[in-house]
Amino acid sequence: MNLGTTGAIFTFALEREAKIGSFYSKYTELISNSSLRDAFELLMKEHEKRTRLLNRFRRENVTEMILEPIHDFDSEPFDIEITTPDTPDDSSLQENAIRIEESSQSFFMKASEKTTFLPEVSDEFKRLSTKAEKHISLLKSIS
């Protein structure tokens, strides 16, 4: 899908967040490693906050979203397909979470680059990218 407007970027971002939040919510209780479970609980809360933030920014920037076209930004590289085994283990869930957060980091960085005409929005996307980097580090630090 072509993300040709800021509105399309926000819509796609919110759809991603719904999938990601569902992943963390669904699998948190299945994790036996307490550190990983704590990380999933934290990330679930972070994604809830991110969803609220994205909705707020979308509401506050409606006029600008309609006026400014965005070129060369496609959703395909950032589509996340969450695949887990029928009986997921901690390792597979951790790997999925890392992949999800890496995709989020890339998506928000690209969104930041494409929305420089809205400095506040661009800065927020960059901040979300940085937070995703921290999430990746957290997940990778758990053994």
CA angle (115, 55, 131) in 5-degree steps: 65
Protein fold of 6-141: Ferritin (1.20.1260)
Measure the CA–CA gap between 70 and 10, rounded to whole angstroms: 13
- pTM attached to this predicted model: 0.90
> pLDDT digits over 51-68, tens only?
999 999 888 876 656 667
CA dihedral 99, 55, 45, 104 (to 10 degrees): 10
* Token pair in block for residue 40: 């999933």
Inter-helix orientation angle 6-27/90-114, to 10°: 170
Collapsing DSSP to helix, strand or coil, 15 comes out as helix
Contact present, 73 and 110 (Cβ < 8 Å) = yes
> pLDDT digits over 68-107, tens only?
788 999 999 998 887 776 788 999 999 999 999 999 999 9
